[in-house]
């Protein structure tokens, strides 16, 4: 089973990398760009058939290592093979 973990900054947390990209796009005359937010995506392949167990395992991975819960939110997308 494959799980995609989308990680983004929580609302209200400053995103200096996103602001830098936004300014660079404006300097290249992409003036319709309103806002840029940078996020991460992690793909994890597991040798597991049980969707519930897979979700529990990846949630634990996120909480213990992959996500800084103080400033980041995440969502899981489970893809069955």
- Residue ranges per domain, the chain? 2-79
CA distance 70 to 52: 26
The pLDDT assigned to 42 comes to 99
Residue 81 has pLDDT above 70, yes or no: no
What residues contact 9, with CB distance under 8 A and at least 6 apart? Answer: 15, 37, 38, 39, 71, 72, 73
pLDDT level of residue 80 (50, 70, 90 thresholds): confident
CA distance 72 to 68: 5
Report, as an integer, the average pLDDT of 3-18.
98
| CATH tag, 2-79 | 3.30.1280.10
Verdict on whether the full-model pTM lies above 0.85 = yes
Which segments within 21-71 are labelled E, that is strand?
40-45
pLDDT level of residue 11 (50, 70, 90 thresholds): very high
């Amino acid at each position: 089973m494959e799980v995609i973990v989308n990680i983004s900054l929580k609302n209200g947390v400053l995103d200096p990398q996103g602001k830098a990209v936004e300014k660079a796009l404006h300097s290249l005359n992409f003036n319709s760009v309103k806002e840029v937010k940078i996020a991460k995506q992690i793909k994890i392949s597991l040798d597991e058939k049980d969707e519930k167990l897979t979700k529990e395992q990846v949630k634990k991975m996120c909480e213990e290592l992959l996500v800084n819960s103080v400033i980041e939110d995440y969502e899981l997308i489970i893809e069955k093979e």
